[in-house]
Chain A
Amino acid sequence: MCSIEDVPNEVDVKIKSITKKCIKCKSTPTILIRHSTYCKQCFQHAFVGKFRKNMDKLRSVNSKGEKVMVGFSGGPSSSRAMLQLLSDYNEVLPNEISKKPLFSEVLVCHIDESSIFGLDDSDDHDVILSQVEQVAQNYNYSFIGLQIDDIYSPDYTSNGSYNKVLEVTFDKSKQQDIDELHAKICQQETSTKKKLQSLLDGVSKFTAKEDLAWHLKQCLLINTARKNGCTKLLLGDCSTRLSIKIISLTSKGRGFSLPLETSGLNSSFGDVTIVRPMKDMLSKEIGIYNKFQGFEATIISSLTSMMPPKSSIDRLTEEFIVKLERDFPSTVSTISRTAAKLTPPEFIDSDNRCIICLMPYQKDDKIWQSRITVMTTPSSSTIVKIQNSTSENSIINSSTCSGAATCCSSDCCTSKDLNICSLTDFLCYACRINMRDINSITLPPYVSEDVQKRSGRENLKKSIEEYFLNDDD
């Protein structure tokens, strides 16, 4: 297929004479960012300016001294630069009596993910952790060090003591109905580490593994911020990282929640607002800044570090964008600008939030999916179920689930396992796709708590459904 206007405009950029000047002060430049050259001072000035601009937006919204939490990955990363920038920004010099710091207190939270790749027993591990803690202490910020498997502890549920997990199994031999999941809420007397391990071992593809790991981490961060009374959670995603995220989220079918997941200011979690003040800086700029600041490099690996590009969608997208940016230096900024023009979903309440990724989803995408990807023929046995998937399924669900749910709400059978038949109803499109790559996994209490609440509500709704007024009536 031929197409029009394929070539982005940068190809026409002419290479000008080598004797370039710093675009600000006309002195000899040392740094090239996209098409502009800077000297060291002007670069740093412009870099800090981008950060201040994003922080100033917060000032107008809320001028009271708030508590804020910084998500700190620990590496020579954008979050490292962010700590420095934040400290500079929040500092009040003794002579500035009238000025108030924007934040009354800064907490630094680091989540140790090494147990995901089995590195937590290595010798370097403790050294790295103490280095990470040292960084926070250098700024006199209180440090919260967590393990990724802490999400399995009952502390991170909304009632604070819910301890049941959700066991989900997917029978791959039943290829006809690839979205059928078996799920039960149950008590597991194993360590949080073992539970996390069972999650990771039960997922066969890296794409789904990375997704789940991120959802757990995000939930852990938000809950920690909430527990510590922080109203803002600062994340260090830079524009390079965000543009990779935009393309990979699109590729994973997360277009609906994408504007939220990549926005500079996401207040969809209510009491905790996620802020990304580094969203306008390229990873190259951050690298240069960190080098000028003399920040030492600590290597924090991720799930697909050192893996070939085709090992996961995130990894492939990273490779794709980084390569493209090398040849077409406006790729990253164009992607970020495009995504910033998309509008986030409007109505978000607990009923249309995915229980795993906590993002809002569209309710009717299941029907859409079954229409455009036909899995059965009229002669095959399961046809009735698929064709009437919406109505039939709900009948099955209500008849089998209602007994258990009402029973459990009265707390008479807390020891019994609760089977959930309609788990896919509580999942967003992309999380449902992820579930195709699992065998058997254990999801943390924050998920099971929500499932129990929601299935109770669904049953309640079904019993009064006939009285609801429809627009068609």
Chain B
Amino acid sequence: MKLQEKVIQLRKLNLELDFWLDHLEPNLVAAYRSEIDEDFWGRIVKIDRVFGSGGGDNYVTEWSISFFPYDSKRSSLSSNRLELEDIPYGIVSVPFKTDKGFKRNTMVRLCVICNKERAIVKRPKTGQQVCRECFYYVFETEIHNTITDNKLFKKGDKVAIAASGGKDSTVLAYVMKLLNQRYQYGLDLFLLSIDEGITGYRDDSLETVKRNQQQYELPLKIVSYSELYGWSMDQIVKEVGLKNNCTFCGVFRRQALDRGAVILDVDHIVTGHNADDIAETILMNILRGDIARLPRCTEICTTGDGSIQRSKPFKYTYEKEIVMYAYFKKLDYFSTECVYSPNAYRGHVRTFIKDLESIRPSAIIDIIHSGEAFEVKEGVKLPIQGVCKRCGYMSSNELCKACMLLEGLNRGLPKLGIGKNFKQKE
């Protein structure tokens, strides 16, 4: 019996491994004799959660653990049980074959970036397996690169973070504060929230923003639709119904953010639009033939004439990675869809992008790369940017969209300004 001889040789080496061999030998020898203990070999690896005082610990059990003589703290193992964190580092590979001839290796993977820590996530953007610290590093550095390469801020700028309490803006507030300190941007940061007046959605998410204000120690300003326009979203929906209400919300929010920024006296607003949002908008603009917005929607920084700058530091950041970041950093955010659900057409596009991403992780960045390369032909008629006669806000018509919608509401003609064939009444 060669195996047993080897074990005896091994024992003679005095490696103090006896405890391990004692434990491993019977099972291996039995297997060589074709006396397979199916109960033992049938289970390769299993993660058990053991609850005790001070919370639960994850244990890995079953036979694959029997092959580890020590844990990562160099203390010897005597049972088939190992805490998840204590699995020794280094790639341990166990090739195996199933009945169907399917081969694969089970490995404890190392982070491909640092090659030291154990990988805990597969990065959605690249498919790389990375550890927690490296994930934080690349995530934050990409945002920092985006900010510096595009020269988004100057030292001493007052910057408002558009905060909704959702994952994007919560992570944005956290990362902006962190990068501002780490790289000494010298920015004065504020939180700016819009209260659209949607019961069961915004009231709850604003509570999150208020908690964020304390956690991040940033001044907060909330402006509400009812105070700006005299209409809350709940009232608007009562008037116009569920169709097209997102038009009101979107148009009003854009202006409300600018007005809030004026009240705060800031130079710049940053929003939490992520790479998925931008890819979606690029495709939406192609699908609905909006040639004017197609080149504009990939701009990282937009400025109306004289008005406040607006930028998207998350332009190249994947939504999934934002969620991951919030999860690992245990950030406090609010995650409920708006009660006035989004429309179907954009839903198709969203599903399409998710499917693309599953075929090829880089697809979202690839779409943005395409979008950035688009240039409109000379001679194509584009709407001319002017100024709204009533409120002075930039507009491509005589009256800006917000004023138009507002007039409709106030005059009891809520359909005014919606759809293709609207007429502007004097």
Binding site for B on A (CB under 8 A): 1-9, 12, 175-176, 178, 205, 207, 246-247, 249-256, 258, 309-310, 312-313, 316-317, 320, 323-324, 328, 331, 334-335, 337-339, 341-343, 362, 365, 368, 371-377, 379-381, 429-430, 433, 436
Contacts and interface: CB of A to CB of B under 8 A. Distances in A.
Interface in B341-373: 342-343, 345-346, 348, 352, 355-356, 358-360, 362-363, 365-367, 369-373
Given A12-B419, A380-B114, A338 B359 contact: no
Given A6-B343, A176-B113, A339-B286, A375 B370 contact: no
A429 B369 contact: yes
Contacts of A328: 345
Contact of B126 (A252, A316, A343, A375): A375
Given A3-B246, A343-B375, A374-B142, A254 B370 contact: yes
Given A255-B370, A316-B359, A374-B138, A246 B286 contact: yes
B294 A251 contact: no
B374 interface: yes
B235 interface: no
Nearest to A339: B286
Contacts of A205: 359-360
Contacts of B372: 255
A376 to B, nearest CB: 6
A342 B355 contact: no
Interface in B117-163: 125-126, 128-129, 134, 137-138, 141-142, 145-146, 149
A247 B348 CA distance: 14
Contact of A375 (B113, B288, B338, B343): B113
A430 B366 contact: yes
Contacts of B141: 374
Given A250-B283, A255-B373, A377 B358 contact: no
A2 B137 contact: no
Interface string B184-221: 00000000000000000000000000000000000000
A372 B150 CA distance: 12
B369 A373 contact: no
Contacts of B114: 377, 379-380
- Contact-residue size bin, chain B (C-beta under 8 Å from the other chain): 35 or more
Contacts of A251: 356, 363, 366-367, 370
B255 to A, nearest CB: 12
Interface of B: 112-115, 125-126, 128-129, 134, 137-138, 141-142, 145-146, 149, 244, 246-247, 249-251, 273, 277, 281-291, 294, 316, 338, 340, 342-343, 345-346, 348, 352, 355-356, 358-360, 362-363, 365-367, 369-378, 380, 401, 419-420
Contact of B338 (A2, A12, A335): A2
Nearest to A315: B359
Nearest to A433: B362
5 contacts: A3-B250, A250-B286, A255-B369, A334-B289, A338-B294
B125 A362 contact: no
Contacts of B290: 338
Contacts of B380: 341
A253 B370 contact: yes
Given A334-B289, A342-B377, A377 B282 contact: no
B356 to A, nearest CB: 5
A247 B284 CA distance: 11
A335 B286 contact: yes
Contacts of B285: 338
Contact of A331 (B146, B282, B287, B338): B287
Count chain A CB atoms within 10 A of each CB in B251, B277, B289 and give the residue with the most: B289
A341 B381 CA distance: 10
Given A377-B137, A433-B366, A2 B356 contact: no
A207 B360 contact: yes
A390 to B, nearest CB: 14
Given A3-B284, A6-B284, A255-B373, 17 more contacts: A2-B250, A2-B342, A3-B246, A4-B401, A6-B346, A8-B345, A12-B419, A176-B112, A250-B370, A313-B360, A316-B359, A338-B291, A343-B377, A371-B146, A379-B114, A380-B114, A429-B369
A252 B366 contact: yes
B4 to A, nearest CB: 37
A6 B287 contact: no
Given A6-B343, A252-B366, A375-B113, A338 B286 contact: yes
Nearest to A248: B356
A258 B286 contact: no
B387 to A, nearest CB: 20
A250 B376 contact: no
